[in-house]
Amino acid sequence: MRSDHLAVSVIGLGSMGSALASVLLEQGYETTVWNRSAHKAQSLVDRGARLAATPAEAVAASPLIIACVLDYEALHTVLDPVARLLAGKVLVNLTSGSPEQAHQTIAWARSHSADYLDGAIMTTPPGVGSPEMMFLYSGSAAAFEAHRPTLAALGDPLYLGADPGLASLYDAALLGLMWSTMTGWLHGTALVGADQTPATAFTPVAIRWLTTVAGFLTTYAPQVDAGRYPGDDATVDVQIAAIDHLLHAATSRGIDNALPLLLKSAMERAKAAGHGSDSYASVIEVLKNPAVGQ
Ligand code: NAP
């Protein structure tokens, strides 16, 4: 068992909270747990966790409180009645929510003299404890620095800044990227599958392509920041011509085309706004302002 200052309390033992508590226990932290449905604590208690009978006991047990419940409503249901016990402690909230909820919660925590870090977990429960997996944090820099080693036990901790909403905002942006990418991959998989190519044959090629696409993002990020989009690699006009091949191939095979049609419409609006000879990065002008190119 580690020394007392490495005591941690975990509030919420759903799939994710249980994984967090389990890794902390494995890493030798003195781990106190509380969950609304107490039976979910049993396997952790069998492995050495202390069971708090109430949220008050959980908060009192450790200088660092990690909360991971369903949503902010549940968070406040659990912690509001014991908020005064948070004074002088650090609350790390890994419950998913919006940037606005993070702003409200840091103000609430500070009003009770607690330090607050908002977090977002960029993995599923089996990934907790892997140094490859990103955990995003924003809010109190002092809290982050003080507890960095404990946070590093859970995954790779990335501190995004003092604005507490940043972790939630990145989380939303990254999930959007994930869904777009996975749906693009599924669309491609359905397309080649219509001509009897199995997903397992297509996917290694798709993954190599994603590495090339990652390079495009690196090229385009400074263009976005500068608001200038030199079309010296592939222009929006060229991409509009190319997406017609995708639409044709998919239509001929009876594949749903809602996604490529949406993409084509964004490209056409960028062209209508004068970006036909610019790079694909210029499509951001349409996304930032839905009136552009209408
Ligand atoms: P889950 O398995 O459904 O667990 C939900 C937890 O919230 C349970 O501990 C549950 O207690 C508690 N809870 C719900 N309503 C409550 C209330 N009114 N009062 C007190 N406790 C309440 O969900 P999860 O997968 O662990 O997710 C927890 C958080 O992590 C969510 O915000 C989720 O978005 C985030 N997250 C999850 C993943 C993932 O892959 N699972 C990944 C990233 C982020 P009971 O056990 O008593 O019901």
Which tens digit of pLDDT belongs to each residue from 200-216? 999 999 999 999 999 99
Paired tokens of 68: 């991971």
The sign one gets for the Cα dihedral 208, 211, 217, 218 is negative
- Answer with the one of 140, 162, 184 that is the final residue of a domain: 162
Residue 111's pLDDT band, with cuts at 50, 70 and 90, is very high
Query: Which atom of ligand 1 lies nearest, measured to the CA of 122?
Result: 43
CA–centroid distance for 69 within its chain: 16
Contact 2, 28 (CB under 8 A): yes
For residue 292, the model assigns a pLDDT of 81
d(CA 49, CA 26): 10
| H-helix segments, 8-140 | 15-26, 42-46, 55-61, 72-79, 99-111
pLDDT for the residue 1 = 42
Same domain, 106 and 226: no
pLDDT digits (tens, 9 = 90+) for 13-62: 999 999 999 999 999 999 999 999 999 999 999 999 999 999 999 999 99
Q: Where are the alpha helices (DSSP H) in the chain?
A: 15-26, 42-46, 55-61, 72-79, 99-111, 141-146, 148-154, 166-193, 199-226, 236-252, 258-270, 284-288
- Please report the sign of the dihedral spanned by the C-alpha atoms of residue 275, residue 277, residue 283, residue 285: negative
What's the 95 CA to ligand 1 centre distance in angstroms?
A: 8
Determine the Cα–Cα distance for residues 118 and 95; give it in Å rounded to an integer: 8
Q: Domain for residue 179, yes or no?
A: no
From the CB of 78, is ligand 1 less than 6 Å away?
A: yes
Confidence of residue 5 (pLDDT cuts 50, 70, 90): low
Joined together, the tokens standing for residue 187 give: 């669309």
Residue 101 Cβ contacting ligand 1 at under 6 Å: no
Q: Of all protein residues, whose CA lies closest to atom 42 belonging to ligand 1?
A: 124
Q: Which residues contact residue 47 at a Cβ distance below 8 angstroms, ignoring those fewer than 6 apart?
A: 22, 25
Q: How far is the CA of 254 from the CAs of 50, 72, 181, 189, 257, in angstroms?
A: 57, 43, 21, 13, 9
pLDDT digits (tens, 9 = 90+) for 149-185: 999 999 999 999 999 999 999 999 999 999 999 999 9
Q: 154 and 218: one domain?
A: no
**What is the reported pLDDT for 113?**
98
Q: 74 C-alpha to center of ligand 1: Å?
A: 9
Residue 2 lies inside a defined structural domain of this protein:
no
Residue 2 pLDDT greater than 50, yes or no: no
Report yes or no on 188 lying in a domain: no
The pTM assigned to this predicted structure is: 0.94
Residue 127 CB less than 6 A away from ligand 1: no
Give the per-residue pLDDT at 291: 85
Give the CB-side neighbour count of residue 250, counting CA atoms within 13 A. 18
User: Is residue 270's pLDDT more than 60?
Assistant: yes
Residue 190 CA to residue 34 CA, distance in Å, equals: 45
Same domain, 122 and 240: no
Of 162, 181, 209, which one is at a domain's C-terminal end?
Answer: 162
At residue 10's C-alpha, the angle toward residues 8 and 11, to 5°, is: 145
What is the whole-number distance in angstroms between the Cα of residue 82 and the centre of ligand 1?
20
Residues 200 and 155 in one domain: no
Distance 19 CA to ligand 1 centre (A): 11
Inside any domain, residue 168: no
Residue 131 has pLDDT above 50, yes or no: yes
- 43 and 98 belong to one structural domain: yes
What is the maximal distance between C-alpha atoms in the chain?
A: 66
Domain boundary among 138, 162, 186: 162
Q: Is the pLDDT of residue 147 over 50?
A: yes
Residue 171: inside a domain, yes or no?
no
Structural domain of 235 = 194-288
User: 95 CB under 6 A from ligand 1?
Assistant: yes
